[in-house]
C-alpha cells in the first residue's frame, strides 16, 4: 500500500509545513520561483506551477514518491502492451492509436500497428469519398449532416475535439451528437435535419449500451419512414464504430461500413481510435484528425522520455496527489480561457472520475485515503460569474488555468485605448490565478477606506493553489497535446495509488437495477392493473405513481 511507504510519511510531514506557505513571501524571497517551478515543452508550451503550495523540496519528495511507486516502469508497461488492466486482463494502448514512431507495439506477441494503420486508411478513404460526393444518400444527395450516436467514452471525447476545432470544419458540414436516451435529445438533434442528407454514425464499443441502441433504433425508424422505406436506407445512411462486428451486422449495417477497434482501447481513452476518427474526419477532414494524432503522439513521447522533473503529465499528476491526499483538497477545477474548450471539462470528468474513482487497489485492498477527486470546470470568463466566488473565498479548490497566446478568431480592434476580445479574455486568465494565490489582506482592504463592518467580507485569504498551461494556439495538434496531458495525468495518479485506472465496475450495478425496472415497466404496459410490489417501499410507490400518471 502506497501509504506505508517512507516517502509517503515524509510527504505527510512536508504537508504540515506547506499549510503555512505564504505565496506572497515565497515569490518575494525567490525571484526565480517561476523558473524553478515551471516546465517548457516544445519551445512554446509552458506549464507554470509556481502558484502551487510547494517548495523545491516538496517537488523533490514528490518525484521520490514517483520513483518509489515505479511510475516510470508502469508507463513503460502501459506503452508496451502489458496487461495492466488486471481485472479485465487487457492491455491499455490508446498510445498505439497515435504511434507515429514507426515502431511495433505488441500485444500477446502480435504487432497491433498494421491493424491500426488499416483502420486509419479506411477512415481516410471513407471521409474523402463523402467530401468528394462519391458516396451519396439513397436519393442521390450528398451528405451534409453527421449524427454521431454514442454515449460516455463513445461521445464525450469526440464532442470535445469537434467543438475545440469547429473553426476548421469542412464548409457546410454539420456534426451533431446524440447521447442521451431522453427523447428530447433525439427530437432536438434531428428536428432541422434533412434525412436525405444525413449520415448516422453509431459508435459503441460493445454495441449493447442501452441508450445508444435505443437511439440507433429510433434513428433507423426515423430514416426509414422519411425515405419511404427505401431498401438501401441502412446500407447507405448508417455506419458503425465498434468492436462487436456481429451485433453491428445484425443491426443491418453493411460490413464494409464498420470501423473496428480493439479491446485494448478503453472507452474513455478512445478518441484517437475510429471512435473519434470517423466523426471528426467527416466534420474536420482527415488531415485535421491526423493533426490531433500527431499532437497526442508528441505528448506521449514527452511522457515516456522526459525526466521526472521535466515531465508535464507526471508533474501534474504528482501535484494532484499532493493537493488531494496531503493538503486535503478533494475537488479540482479545469478552467480553459477558451470558448472552444467548452466541452473539455466534461470529457476530462469521465477520463478522470471513471478511471480513478476507485475504492480498492490492484490487490483488492480498501484504500485508506481518497482516490480520484471531483473534477469540474467551465470556460473562463463564464465561470468567473458563476462559481468563482466559492473558489476565492469559500472552499479551497486547486485549479488549472488553460490559455492560448493567439485566438482562433480575431475579433475587435487593438489600440492604445482598447483591447480586443482575446486580450480582454486573457487579462482575466492572468489575473485570476494571482487573486487566488496572493489574495487581499485585511490591512489592504482597510487602506482602501472600506467601512470596518465590510472588511472581513472584502478580504481574500490567498494561498489558493493553481497552475497555468499556456499554449500558442488551439489547433488540432495542440488539442491532441492537451488531451494526452490529461489522459496521462489520470494514469500517473492511478499508478501512484496502485489502483487499476482502466476498469469501471462502478457503473454496473445501476445498469443491472435499471434492467429490472425496465422489465417491470414492460409488464405494466401489458397488465396495468397489477400493482408494483417487488421493490422497496420507496421505489414501489414512486414507480406506481409514475406508471399510473404517465399512462
- Pick one of 195, 267, 357, 373: the residue that binds ligand F6P (CB under 6 A): 267
- Pick one of 58, 78, 95, 152: the residue that binds ligand F6P (CB under 6 A): 152
Question: Is there a catalytic annotation at residue 80?
Answer: no
215 touching ligand F6P, by CB under 6 A: no
Nearest to ligand F6P of 154, 288 (CB atom)? 154
Residue 382 backbone phi and psi in degrees, to 5: -55, -45
Q: Provide DSSP, 442-460.
A: HHHHHHTT--GGGHHHH-B
427 touching ligand F6P, by CB under 6 A: no
504 touching ligand F6P, by CB under 6 A: yes
Contacts by residues 125-129 (CB-CB < 8 Å, ≥ 24 positions apart): 126/239, 126/257, 126/259, 126/278, 126/281, 127/278, 127/281, 127/282, 127/285, 127/286, 128/286
In whole angstroms, how close is the CB of 167 to ligand F6P at the nearest point? 27
Give the 3-state secondary structure of residue 289: helix
490 touching ligand F6P, by CB under 6 A: no
Q: Choose the binding region for ligand F6P from 35-43, 152-160, 306-314, 485-493 (rule: CB under 6 A).
A: 152-160
Pattern 317-356, binding to ligand F6P, x per CB under 6 A? -------------------------------------x--
In whole angstroms, how close is the CB of 21 to ligand F6P at the nearest point? 39
Residues from 351 through 410 that contact ligand F6P (CB under 6 A) = 354
153 touching ligand F6P, by CB under 6 A: yes
Alpha carbon 380 to chain centroid, angstroms:
17
Helices 210-226 and 183-190 cross at an angle (nearest 10°) of 40
Catalytic residue among 14, 26, 159, 354: 354
Nearest to ligand F6P of 153, 465 (CB atom)? 153
Nearest to ligand F6P of 205, 488 (CB atom)? 205
76 touching ligand F6P, by CB under 6 A: no
Longest dimension (CA), the chain: 79
From the list 427, 461, 465, 466, the residue with the least C-alpha distance to 445 is: 461
Give the torsion through C-alpha atoms of 153, 157, 162, 163, to 10 deg: 110
User: How many whole angstroms separate alpha carbon 149 and alpha carbon 212?
Assistant: 6
Nearest to ligand F6P of 238, 326 (CB atom)? 238
Q: Choose the binding region for ligand F6P from 15-23, 198-206, 471-479, 494-502 (rule: CB under 6 A).
A: 198-206
Question: Is there a catalytic annotation at residue 447?
Answer: no
205 touching ligand F6P, by CB under 6 A: yes
In whole angstroms, how close is the CB of 270 to ligand F6P at the nearest point? 7
Q: Which residues of 63-101 are buried (b: 16+ CB within 10 A; e: fewer)?
A: bbbbeebebbebbebbbbbeebbeebebbbbbbbbbbee
User: How many whole angstroms separate alpha carbon 355 and alpha carbon 490?
Assistant: 7
- Which cell numbers in the block locate residue 438? 496572493
Catalytic residue among 17, 385, 406, 473: 385
Question: Is there a catalytic annotation at residue 392?
Answer: no
In whole angstroms, how close is the CB of 150 to ligand F6P at the nearest point? 6
204 touching ligand F6P, by CB under 6 A: yes
- Pick one of 59, 120, 149, 151: the residue that binds ligand F6P (CB under 6 A): 151
- Pick one of 50, 154, 257, 315: the residue that binds ligand F6P (CB under 6 A): 154
Asked if 150 and 205 touch (Cβ cutoff 8 Å), the reply is: no
279 touching ligand F6P, by CB under 6 A: no
94 touching ligand F6P, by CB under 6 A: no
Give the 3-state secondary structure of residue 331: strand
- Which cell numbers in the block locate residue 439? 489574495
268 touching ligand F6P, by CB under 6 A: yes
212 touching ligand F6P, by CB under 6 A: yes
Catalytic residue among 110, 133, 217, 511: 511
- Pick one of 507, 513, 542, 545: the residue that binds ligand F6P (CB under 6 A): 507
User: How many whole angstroms separate alpha carbon 254 and alpha carbon 103?
Assistant: 33
Asked if 461 and 396 touch (Cβ cutoff 8 Å), the reply is: no
**β-bridge mates for residue 240, sequence order:** 202, 258
Q: Which residues bind ligand F6P (CB under 6 A)?
A: 151-154, 204-206, 209, 212, 267-268, 354, 504, 507
User: What amino acid positions are annotated as catalytic residues?
Assistant: 354, 385, 511
Amino acid at each position: 500500500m502506497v501509504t506505508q511507504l517512507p516517502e509517503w510519511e515524509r510527504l505527510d510531514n512536508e504537508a504540515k509545513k506547506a499549510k503555512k506557505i505564504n505565496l506572497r513571501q515565497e515569490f518575494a524571497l525567490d525571484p526565480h520561483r517561476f523558473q524553478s517551478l515551471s516546465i517548457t515543452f516544445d519551445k512554446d508550451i509552458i506549464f507554470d506551477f509556481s502558484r502551487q503550495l510547494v517548495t523545491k523540496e516538496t517537488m523533490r519528495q514528490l518525484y521520490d514518491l514517483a520513483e518509489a511507486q515505479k511510475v516510470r516502469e508502469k508507463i513503460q508497461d502501459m506503452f508496451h502492451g502489458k496487461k495492466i488492466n488486471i481485472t479485465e486482463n487487457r492491455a491499455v494502448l490508446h498510445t498505439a492509436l497515435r504511434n507515429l514512431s514507426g515502431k511495433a507495439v505488441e500485444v500477446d506477441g502480435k504487432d497491433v500497428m498494421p491493424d491500426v494503420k488499416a483502420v486509419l486508411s479506411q477512415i481516410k478513404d471513407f471521409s474523402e469519398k463523402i467530401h468528394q460526393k462519391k458516396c451519396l444518400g439513397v436519393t442521390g444527395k450528398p451528405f451534409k449532416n453527421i449524427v454521431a450516436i454514442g454515449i460516455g467514452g463513445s461521445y464525450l471525447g469526440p464532442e470535445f475535439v469537434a467543438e475545440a476545432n469547429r473553426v476548421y470544419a469542412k464548409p457546410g458540414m454539420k456534426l451533431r451528437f446524440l447521447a442521451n436516451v431522453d427523447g428530447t435529445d433525439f427530437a432536438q438533434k434531428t428536428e432541422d435535419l434533412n434525412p436525405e442528407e444525413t449520415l448516422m454514425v453509431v459508435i459503441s464499443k460493445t454495441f449493447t449500451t442501452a441508450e445508444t441502441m435505443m437511439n440507433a433504433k429510433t434513428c433507423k425508424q426515423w430514416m426509414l419512414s422519411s425515405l419511404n422505406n427505401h431498401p438501401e436506407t441502412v446500407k447507405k445512411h448508417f455506419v458503425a464504430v465498434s468492436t462487436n462486428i456481429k451485433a453491428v451486422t445484425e443491426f443491418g449495417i453493411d460490413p464494409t461500413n464498420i470501423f473496428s477497434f480493439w479491446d485494448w482501447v478503453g472507452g474513455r481513452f478512445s478518441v484517437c481510435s475510429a471512435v473519434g476518427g470517423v466523426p471528426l474526419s467527416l466534420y474536420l477532414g482527415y488531415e485535421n484528425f491526423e493533426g490531433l494524432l500527431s499532437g497526442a503522439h508528441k505528448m506521449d513521447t514527452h511522457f515516456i522520455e522526459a525526466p521526472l522533473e521535466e515531465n508535464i503529465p507526471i508533474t501534474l499528476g504528482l501535484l494532484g496527489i499532493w493537493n488531494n491526499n496531503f493538503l486535503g483538497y478533494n475537488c479540482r477545477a479545469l478552467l480553459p480561457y477558451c470558448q472552444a474548450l467548452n466541452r473539455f471539462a466534461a470529457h476530462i470528468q469521465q477520463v478522470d472520475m471513471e478511471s480513478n474513482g476507485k475504492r480498492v487497489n490492484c490487490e483488492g485492498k480498501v484504500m485508506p485515503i481518497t482516490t480520484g477527486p471531483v473534477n469540474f470546470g467551465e470556460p473562463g470568463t463564464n465561470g468567473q460569474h458563476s462559481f468563482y466566488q466559492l473558489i476565492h473565498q469559500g472552499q479551497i479548490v486547486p485549479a488549472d488555468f488553460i490559455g492560448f497566446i493567439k485566438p482562433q478568431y480575431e475579433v475587435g480592434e487593438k489600440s492604445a485605448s482598447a483591447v480586443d476580445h482575446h486580450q480582454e479574455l486573457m487579462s482575466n486568465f492572468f489575473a485570476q490565478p494571482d487573486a487566488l494565490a496572493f489574495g487581499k489582506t485585511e490591512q489592504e482592504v482597510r487602506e482602501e477606506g472600506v467601512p470596518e463592518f465590510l472588511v472581513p467580507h472584502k478580504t481574500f485569504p490567498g494561498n489558493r493553489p493553481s497552475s497555468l498551461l499556456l499554449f500558442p494556439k488551439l489547433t488540432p495538434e495542440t488539442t491532441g497535446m492537451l488531451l494526452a496531458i490529461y489522459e496521462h495525468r489520470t494514469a500517473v495518479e492511478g499508478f501512484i495509488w496502485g489502483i487499476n485506472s482502466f476498469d469501471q465496475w462502478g457503473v454496473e450495478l445501476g445498469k443491472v437495477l435499471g434492467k429490472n425496472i425496465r422489465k417491470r415497466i414492460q409488464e405494466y404496459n401489458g397488465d396495468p392493473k397489477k400493482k408494483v410490489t417487488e421493490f422497496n417501499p420507496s421505489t414501489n410507490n414512486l414507480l406506481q405513481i409514475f406508471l399510473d400518471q404517465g399512462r
